[in-house]
Amino acid sequence: YSALCNESGGLIDDITICRMAADRFLLIINAGNIDKDVAWIQQHLPAGAEATNLSDQKALLALQGPEAETILQRLTPAALPDLNYYHAIPARVADSDVLISRLGYTGEDGFEIMVDGQHAVALWQAIMQAGQPETILPIGLGARDTLRLEARYLLYGVDMDESRTPFEVGLTWLTKLDKGPFIGRDALVRAKAEGVPQRLVGFVLKERGIARAHYRVMDGDTPIGTVTSGTMSPSLEQAIGTAFVPRAYTKTGSTFAVEVRNKAVPAEVVRAPFVPRRVKRN
């Protein structure tokens, strides 16, 4: 998992990079950012490097949940129990050549399966058939968005964009300033030294209401921030959300209010994630 930054340290995208060979890498980028990302990468290729956009040729299916390994193992001879979190292997699944990665966007154990687009429907149908004993179900983007927020995973274009740096959105852990030059490094060195004015925090509402994107965060009558994501958590039966607030309000237990339909609803900052992640780590 990594960040694609511009010269100002702003986030062009958050991406996953898979090292396929010593000199060959696979980049998984956000579908909504394909044109922007590919143009940026092409513009900044070093001498001798080539980049090919395979987006129109590939499909990526996500199988998530505590029974994901059991279901997928029925369709492949690959040793799935040996596949570590954030690792990938080429494999044969239901008569298709694929790349299986142990990761996902739900906070649960599971896999992302990259396959040639022409085989995507057949692979989907094979997975759904294999999962019948576990009552497998497809989920839509709304369900996925709830799951990713409970796990405190970021959504590009909502929780981050080119106006925000990795430090502001909680991606300091992947910003390695001592590993050599990269685009945006100088700006990020300055940002780290100066400190960022706002940071993204997770919060729960203490009274009835649901925080939505762009709702104002208030301290009394003073606006201090903005909600980025919010929903009613089915797991917690409580309204949760994320917001950019000044550093003075970022400690766990800090309080403020979210303006929900002209009503100030009390909120409290909590540690991430909202719901414990259940990813498998060998």
**Residues that constitute the known binding site for substrate:** 112
Cα–Cα distance measured from residue 189 to residue 9, given in angstroms and rounded to the nearest whole number:
9
**Backbone torsions φ then ψ of 78, nearest 5 degrees:** -60, 145
Binding residues, by number, are 112
For residue 37, how far is the Cα from the chain centroid? 16
For residue 158, how far is the Cα from the chain centroid? 11
Q: Which residues contact 151 (CB under 8 A, 6 or more apart)?
A: 106, 107, 273, 274, 275, 277
Cα distances (angstroms) measured from residue 227 to each of 10, 12, 14, 191, 214: 19, 20, 20, 23, 5
Query: Which candidate, 276, 239, 271, 278, places its Cα nearest to that of 253?
Result: 271
- Residue matched to tokens 């030294």: 193
Residue burial 78-106, b: 16+ Cβ < 10 Å; e: rest: bebeebeeeebbebebbebebbbbbbbbb
Cα–Cα distance measured from residue 123 to residue 224, given in angstroms and rounded to the nearest whole number:
48
Residue 54 identity: L
Cα–Cα distance measured from residue 249 to residue 241, given in angstroms and rounded to the nearest whole number:
15
